[in-house]
Every structure is written in structure tokens, then in C-alpha cells.
Amino acid sequence: MKPQNPPSPSEAGQALQSRAAGVPVEIAGVSKVFRREQMQTQALERVDLSVRPGEFIAVVGPSGCGKSTLLKIIAGLLPPSEGRIDIAGKTISGPHTDLGIVFQSPVLLDWRNVLDNVLVQIDLRGGDPAAYRDQARALLAKVGLAGFENRMPRELSGGMRQRAAIVRAMIHQPPLLMMDEPFGALDALTREQMRIDLEKLWLERGQTTFFITHGISEAVALADRVIVMTPRPGRIERIIEIDLPRPRHKAVITSRRFRSIGPASSATWMGWPRRAQRALP
């Protein structure tokens, strides 16, 4: 295991301060085999990773390599076949509530407006939704949904629904945020705006974040470290440190350095043969 790096000096002071809001996550020797009758599928094989509090981890890898399975194991929704997950030093033995999850397609309640969809998170935890109204409005405004608080989900675009789902996943200030291809269904422009919004929220709140994506540029643009997984059974193929300055505004993500870490080297990351790499645009 590589030694843990402290947060890079380029991170905003505010971000450094808020880092305490995240929890450390230890993934130790996690394997997962799904068994049904005579069939068995090994989804994950001996995954080890130490994630520091407030770190932004992006996970990339071919379809079916076990990314969603890993996320569900960390969330306690699936037990590992081997190994363990420790969150803030405590071994996970079942579903836990101290986290927020965003799935690829936003799951909103059709009969509740945007604000009430966000506040359902507080309801479910036995809190007082009224106490969170102002905060929910402020967060919605941060992701461009000011003025849409009273709209019903059917009146929103896909991107707006996903923004509401992200706010719902963060309203209770979870120390851990899990996102499984949250921008997968969005067009390129909306996706870029969502990336900017997400980075802004993460810089302010500092929660430890796992972000699964098929977009290599998106992974590099968002993450402190990108975890590249092998085809099934998923193992960690390599870990790429992304020490680009934050916030990662346009000048950063159009820089030569960004391209040299990300798009230009993605084929090498994925272990593709040289011949295939030469064929890349």
C-alpha cells in the first residue's frame, strides 16, 4: 500500500479546513463472489485501498468489472465474500445511514415537490425537516435550482432531477458520499456544469467521496486519485494521483498538464496494447 499523501497545497484553504467533515475508509482484501445454483461470478478480487478523510476518489474500469458492487459493499448494502470495510475505524456489518448515495438515474418521489424531495432525507432519519428548509433552499440554489423548489419532478429536465438528487444525498451532511455514474444520462454541457457544481459543494463540505464514471476526463477533472480497475474479476489495476490545482476551472482542464494526465494517457492506464493506442485519435 502506498503511503498516504497529505492534501496538496494547491487545494483551497477552505477545503483544507472542511476536510475534517470526511471520514477515512479502509478497504481491506475485499473479494466478492456471487453464487446462484451452479453459477458463480467473481466480481471483485482482493481490493485494498486506504482513503483519507475528505478525499475524492474516482473509480473507472470496464463494464461489469465490479464498480457498483464495490460501492454497494462500502455502503453496507452487500456483504463482501472476503475482507472488510472500515469506516472511521469501525468495521461495516450491514447498511449504515451515515452516508449519501446518488444513482445513475435520479430516484425522486413523483408526488413531492423538489424541496420536499430533498427534505425526505431528514424525515427518514427522524429529524425535523423544517429546521433544514433554509439549508435545502441554499443548496438547491448552489446547483442552479433556485426558483424550482416548488416544482414537481415531472416538470424538471433530467439534469435538474439529478441535481435535486445530489442535494438530497448531501443535505444531512454525510461524511461519505457515494455516486454511481451520477451524470451518465446527461448531455455533455449539463455534465460539465454538474461537475463544476459538485466540485464546489465538495470543496465546501469536504465529505469523503466515491465517484464511479466511465468518463476518464471527468474522473481526472474531479478526483484526488483515480482508481483504474481491471476487467472482471475487478482488481485495482493502478492508482493515478491527480495533483492539479483546485477549483478545476476551465484553465485547469484545458491545460496541457490535464491532457497529459488524463485523455492522452488513458489507453496506457487501461493497459491497452500499444497498437490499439496508436489507433486512438
Residues numbered 203 to 232 that lie near ligand ATP (CB under 6 A) are: 232
By CB under 6 A, tell whether 193 contacts ligand ATP.
Answer: no
Taking CB under 5 A as the criterion, the residue among 50, 68, 81, 135 binding Mg ion is 68
Distance from C-alpha of 234 to C-alpha of 67, rounded to nearest angstrom = 8
By CB under 6 A, tell whether 81 contacts ligand ATP.
Answer: no
Q: Which stretch binds Mg ion (CB under 5 A): 65-73, 77-85, 184-192, 271-279?
A: 65-73
Stated as kind and residue range, the H or E segment containing 29 is strand 25-36
Considering the complex, state which of residue 68 and residue 265 has its C-beta at the smaller distance from Mg ion. Answer: 68
Considering the complex, state which of residue 21 and residue 103 has its C-beta at the smaller distance from ligand ATP. Answer: 103
Spatial CB neighbours of 156, under 8 Å, sequence gap ≥ 6? 114, 148, 164
The option from ligand ATP, Mg ion, none interacting with 213 (CB < 5 to 8 A, set by class) reads: none
Cell of 137: 433552499
Considering the complex, state which of residue 113 and residue 209 has its C-beta at the smaller distance from Mg ion. Answer: 209
Considering the complex, state which of residue 68 and residue 193 has its C-beta at the smaller distance from Mg ion. Answer: 68
Q: In the block, which residue shows the cell 451520477?
A: 182
Distance from C-alpha of 121 to C-alpha of 209, rounded to nearest angstrom = 18
By CB under 5 A, tell whether 41 contacts Mg ion.
Answer: no
Torsion angle of alpha carbons 91, 97, 100, 104, nearest 10°? Answer: 90
By CB under 6 A, tell whether 63 contacts ligand ATP.
Answer: yes
CB 145 within 8 A of CB 87: no
Distance from C-alpha of 14 to C-alpha of 25, rounded to nearest angstrom = 22
The option from ligand ATP, Mg ion, none interacting with 38 (CB < 5 to 8 A, set by class) reads: none
Q: What's the start-to-end Cα distance of the chain, in Å? A: 35
Helix ranges (H only) for 42-187 are 67-74, 114-124, 133-142, 158-170
Q: Which stretch binds Mg ion (CB under 5 A): 63-71, 77-85, 227-235, 272-280?
A: 63-71
Considering the complex, state which of residue 117 and residue 162 has its C-beta at the smaller distance from ligand ATP. Answer: 162
Local structure of 95: helix, strand or coil? coil
Considering the complex, state which of residue 66 and residue 153 has its C-beta at the smaller distance from ligand ATP. Answer: 66
Taking CB under 6 A as the criterion, the residue among 29, 64, 158, 247 binding ligand ATP is 64
By CB under 6 A, tell whether 105 contacts ligand ATP.
Answer: no
The option from ligand ATP, Mg ion, none interacting with 207 (CB < 5 to 8 A, set by class) reads: none
| Separation in Å, CA 78 to CA 19, 31, 81, 145, 154 | 28, 12, 9, 34, 32
By CB under 5 A, tell whether 104 contacts Mg ion.
Answer: no
By CB under 6 A, tell whether 174 contacts ligand ATP.
Answer: no
> Binding residues for Mg ion, per CB under 5 A?
68
> Binding residues for ligand ATP, per CB under 6 A?
34, 41, 43, 63-69, 232
